[in-house]
Amino acid sequence: MSDPEMSATNAEANQVPAVIYVTYAGPAGSRFDREYYVERHLPLVLRAWKQHGLLGVTAFFPASKADGTLAVCECRFSDERAIEQSFAAPETAGVMADLRHFTDLPASRSRVVAI
């Protein structure tokens, strides 16, 4: 493959939508304010990162309250570059500082890899 063809292939690969899952896990009864998370935190995330390529967010909560995963957020970005730009943006400090308003649990991020 020639260099121009390889560059075109790399550019196309960077345009594939990218997904990150943010997971909050802990013992049943851990502090996690679902209402605040959905009504305040997720809109904050959208405002902060939409300009960098965030397409949308979806929150998932287990049906029963048990030890383990308490919440999962799916963040859909336009591409991998949008993820990098979002997390490097100055607005990210405000997003991360907001966690204390709804939980004491750490957030764990996982990327989905499309094949």
Query: Which CATH number goes with the domain that contains 80?
Result: 3.30.70.100
Closest CA to 47 of 100, 91, 97, 102: 91
Residue 93 lies in a domain: yes
Per-residue pLDDT averaged across 61-68, rounded?
Answer: 88
Residue 44 lies in a domain: yes
Report which of residues 17 and 57 the model is more confident about: 57
Residue 91 lies in a domain: yes
Determine the structural domain holding residue 51 and report its residue range. 17-112
Q: What pLDDT score was predicted for residue 78?
A: 96
Distance CA 50, CA 56 (A): 8
**pLDDT grade, residue 11 (50/70/90)?**
very low
Distance CA 72, CA 64 (A): 14
For all residues of the chain together, what is the average pLDDT? 89
Angle (nearest 5°) at CA 25 between 20 and 27 = 175
Residue 67 lies in a domain: yes
Residue 11 lies in a domain: no
Read off the tokens for 81.
Answer: 């570059």
Angle between helices 42-49 and 80-88 (to 10 degrees): 100
pTM over 0.85: no
Residue 8 lies in a domain: no
| Domain count across the chain | 1
Q: Is the pLDDT of residue 8 over 80?
A: no
**pLDDT grade, residue 14 (50/70/90)?**
low
Distance CA 112, CA 115 (A): 10
Residue 38 lies in a domain: yes
Q: Is the pLDDT of residue 7 over 60?
A: no
**pLDDT grade, residue 53 (50/70/90)?**
very high
Q: 74-106: per-residue pLDDT in tens?
A: 999 999 999 999 999 999 999 999 999 999 999
Residue 61 lies in a domain: yes
User: Order of strands, edge to edge, in the sheet holding 54-60?
Assistant: 54-60, 68-77, 18-26, 107-112
